[in-house]
Chain A
Amino acid sequence: MGDQLTSTGLKPADFASSQEVRWCPGCGDYAILKAVRKTMADVGASLENTLVISGIGCAARFPYYMATYGFHTIHGRAPTIASGAMLANPDLDVWIITGDGDALAIGGNHFIHMLRRNFNCQILLFNNEIYGLTKGQYSPTSRENTRSPSTPMGSIDTPLSAAHVALGAGARFVARAVDTQQKQLVDILTKAYQHKGTSFVEIFQNCIVYNDGVFDPFTDKKNVADHQIYIEHEKPMIFGANADQGLMVDAGFHLKPTKLDGDTRALIHDETNRSLAFMLAEQSPPDGPMVMGVLYQNPDEIYQTRVKEQIKTAQSNNKRSINDALRDGTTWSVK
């Protein structure tokens, strides 16, 4: 959204609706709900100006649990409804909640166009690499060979990388986080909120029922230090239990984890470098760390403002009423 942090005095609990939360016990969605409520309280969001819009899926039940305005729409189409709401009221504070199937399968078209237009809003993609609500079929982000009810012999499609799709579509803010790593998640959501333009956050979310542990290689406590890196703008990209590994570019322009010593220093993250962002999104265990944090941020003009500006320009060039418009061109009068 991008407003200065102001306090409305609302606490995280004030953002909770009276609806009982109905995700499976242990579902990663609970942690994300908690982080979003905390972020909203932290940034001083108001209930009345906040609009949470979702598609369909487990993730998409999210708006029901918020005390703000909420719209649970249809599968894949939340960005379209959000766009219209922002065209009507450019000042709304809009959060789009989507799943990997919702955003990247049925809603793929809207997802990329939402990102390239750069409306001022947040998109949180709860990526559990599975279709939760429909009972566990593989999704566009499922790894090859995922066994699911619809792929009993293993899936054969190449998975999509949400961050790559977003960067390729022209997103101006691309970040990643893990559901249960609350502090980081709140930090990243806060940055997403503060970014003016469409902020895209991919959140690795554990579906305890249909895809439990799929992110363990980098989210399990014992793996976090060595297989995950949290990057920040203008800071060296260092990770490892002893902070002795860094991301480096080799002579062939490959971004690679490297053992740090006196002479070798880690590359400094430049979040405005889109090529670097692609390389960061490329990293994944076991060859490299999974990269969390803001991979890319490079603000541009926002869509709502440009719509308003065109109308303003048209109005200053041509001051006329609808009655005048009806009378443009050749008219004649019959007595």
Chain B
Amino acid sequence: MTDMAKSQPASSTTATNDGSMETAIVRIAGDSGDGVQLVGGRFSINSALAGNDLVTFPDFPAEIRAPTGSIYGVSAYQLHFGGRNIKTIGDHVDVLVAFNPAALKTNLALLAKGGILILDSSGFSATNLRKAGYKTSPLEDKSLDGYQLMQLDIGKMTMLATTPFGLTKKQALRCKNFFALGLLFWLFDRDRSKTAVWIKDKFAKNPEIGDANVAAMNAGHSHGETIELAGDLSKIHVPTFKMEPGLYRAITGADAMAYGLATAAELSNRQLVLASYPITPSSNILHKLANMKELGVVTFQAEDEIAAVGAALGASYAGALGVTASSGPGVALKMEMIGLAVATELPLIIINSQRAGPSTGLPTKTEQSDLYQSVFGRNGDAPLPVLAARSPGDSFYCAIEAARLAQKYMTPVILLTDGFINNTSEPWSIPDIGDLARIEVPNRTDPTDYKPYERDEKTLARAWAIPGTPGLEHRIGGLERDALTGAVSYDPANHQKMSELRAQKTANIAFDIGELTVDQGDENGDLVVVGWGSTYGPISRAVTTMRAKGYAVSHVHLRHIFPFPANQCELLSRFKRILVPEMNMGQLITLMKAMDCPAATGLTKLEGQPFLVSELEVAILDAIKEVKNG
């Protein structure tokens, strides 16, 4: 669950004297059945509507139906919102709501000293205390003295508020989550009318339950006012953030990926066929696309990962945009087929939602340790482009970029994302599909002089000639093919030539992906922090704060992992020092060495959790000190 911070941060960023905070981090934790994800989602939307930027992260228990009150059954929802560009879920929590002792136990370490702790005392029964491993009640033993503790009997107050609606006790208690939401709405001075409308709409089939939830929310809000009068706690003001103009929605990485794939198919004027085998944390991509049939999307749940990538390749062979989505262990199984895609030079997209490995590892924990697997993990010399998404919204554009490269260069493309990106959500400016560049890679139809492995001079791609086309009948396969006719060839010189062509075709992509630019900071200086994938948020925030303190640090973030953009090594050489933080044992840094980039220092983290901004700040400071000390 929430071993995100091993130790409590020393200083608190909770409300200043005037009751305002630039950003706030709220975490709601309870039993799986307490509905924390539901109200967390509502709080997010409400924050967005109130004009905040935000990032959210649902922290689900790995167990499907853990016993109530148990440590491993705790579900939490974290929201970081505020009056500036929000890039991370936050290093620590300012306000923690815990519905039972287990939720308190697993989440307290995240709460900043002096932070606001809202506890539902109705959940602190002797049984629940025992299940969470408390010898004495934290409500009584003064162990929570360092926090602004608000213990309320949310159970009882919710029962009272919902009496008029004739619910059973069990039904009434299920409204506790909305009581807590009402209290949070009071704390952050939020309008709750839209949420009330949403609740009534959601429970339209059981209006009395809808009414009860609204009543619970209102009761929570009123209770906040009582607290305020008593002088126990005051409202916190969080300023709004001026986002770029546009139409926004909240989006998770998995949803953005699914939308990106559907959009890429539309832009390519091709059928999307997604073939997958369920695996955490990738399955949401399959689920989302399975629910997009009205857009003509075909999804196929295959019997295993190999069948999934096989079906995706077969679909591409027959002219569709074939995609398979999985996670590291599944991608390991797919590799032989990906090699066949390299050999037959067919478009294919493989999405890897990375998780902590090796083997089954930590299925629900995030990591970025499949870079080697992606770049090097096939038999033979089998180069292919590798991309990595950096955020939920970026997944959408990476999917389109993967589709562009796959078709233009007739190649499999591995697109890396991870469990963290898939599950976090952020506000996303919705593009108009009409504004996006189309992907024009027509099928070959002309039978004159057709040679299956004849290549486009510039891209070195062969033509896409799909079954069903008269006059283009040909045979392809995994046996080495003649460089022109595609017929089986055991000729040594031909194999040398084909190997070089495959390498060159992939290498050429370096010149078709734009120059690598600095994401933040100057184009030279003491230090550049180079990241890829989901470390984007924490690196970006850390670089912003360190720059504000006057340090000459810049941030470069890679989307193209292989090949690197043509100017990468040159750009990095303009800095005195290079720091590469990765959630692995140093995979990008090894690749950079292999590609002759200037020497860099690594910073590794394999705790199944994203980097904290503070950890990166320390590393940046250390690196800069070393520069200064020569």
Contacts and interface: CB of A to CB of B under 8 A. Distances in A.
Partners in one complex: yes
Interface of A: 17, 19, 46-49, 51, 53, 56, 63-64, 66-74, 77, 79-89, 91-92, 109-110, 113, 307, 310-311, 313-315, 317-323, 325-327, 329-335
Contacts of B340: 73-74
A80 B314 contact: yes
Interface string B329-373: 000000011001000100000000000000000000000000000
Nearest to A51: B467
B306 A77 contact: yes
Contacts of A335: 245
A92 B434 CA distance: 33
A87 B247 contact: no
A330 B138 CA distance: 40
B456 interface: no
A51 B474 CA distance: 10
B351 to A, nearest CB: 16
A172 to B, nearest CB: 18
A64 B475 contact: yes
A226 B293 CA distance: 56
B317 A48 contact: no
Interface string B61-105: 000000000000000000000000000000000000000000000
A314 to B, nearest CB: 4
A69 B473 contact: yes
Interface stretch (B167-175, B476-484, B549-557): B476-484
B310 interface: yes
Interface stretch (B151-159, B205-213, B296-304, B504-512): B296-304
B252 to A, nearest CB: 11
13 contacts: A19-B488, A71-B314, A77-B310, A83-B300, A84-B300, A87-B314, A89-B318, A311-B293, A317-B294, A325-B259, A326-B433, A332-B249, A334-B244
B310 to A, nearest CB: 3
B36 interface: no
Given A91-B468, A319-B294, 7 more contacts: A17-B475, A48-B469, A71-B314, A80-B302, A89-B319, A325-B262, A329-B249
Interface in B262-320: 262-263, 266, 271, 273, 275, 292-296, 298, 300, 302-304, 306-320
B470 interface: yes
B248 A331 contact: yes
B271 A81 contact: no
A109 B333 CA distance: 14
A330 B250 contact: yes
Interface string B436-473: 00000000000000000000000000000011111111
A87 B315 contact: yes
Contacts of B468: 48-49, 69, 89, 91-92
Contact of B475 (A71, A315, A329): A71
A326 B259 contact: yes
Contacts of B430: 326-327, 331
Contacts of A81: 310-311, 313-314, 317
Contacts of B433: 321-323, 326
A80 B488 contact: no
A284 B479 CA distance: 38
Contacts of A327: 247, 249, 430
A48 B315 contact: no
A266 B307 CA distance: 44
Contacts of B492: none
Interface in B31-71: 45, 48-49
B317 A84 contact: yes
B231 interface: no
Contacts of B431: 326
A85 B49 contact: no
Contact of A334 (B243, B302, B310, B471): B243
B385 to A, nearest CB: 21
Contacts of B18: none
B380 interface: no
Interface string B233-269: 0000000001111111110000000010011001000
B578 to A, nearest CB: 36
A85 B467 contact: yes
Contacts of A64: 475, 477, 488
B314 A82 contact: yes
B438 to A, nearest CB: 13
A317 to B, nearest CB: 7
Contacts of A313: 293
Interface string B137-148: 000000000000
Given A74-B340, A335-B245, A311 B311 contact: no
B432 interface: yes
A315 B294 contact: yes
A110 B307 CA distance: 7
Contacts of B294: 311, 314-315, 317-320
A322 to B, nearest CB: 5
B310 A48 contact: no
B263 A85 contact: no
Given A83-B311, A322-B266, A331-B430, A89 B467 contact: yes
B259 to A, nearest CB: 6
Contacts of A82: 314
A84 B315 contact: yes
B45 A330 contact: yes
Contacts of A73: 310, 340, 477-478
Nearest to A310: B293
Contacts of A66: 475
A314 B247 CA distance: 27
Given A80-B314, A330-B250, A88 B273 contact: yes
B322 interface: yes
B592 interface: no
B49 A332 contact: yes
Given A48-B471, A84-B314, A88-B318, A333 B476 contact: no
Contacts of A89: 318-320, 466-468
A323 B266 CA distance: 10
A66 B469 CA distance: 16
Most chain B CB inside 10 Å of its own CB: which residue of A49, A313, A319: A49
A105 to B, nearest CB: 14
Contacts of A51: 318, 467
B303 A110 contact: yes
Contacts of A329: 249-250
A322 B475 contact: no
Contacts of B109: none
A302 to B, nearest CB: 15
A186 B432 CA distance: 56
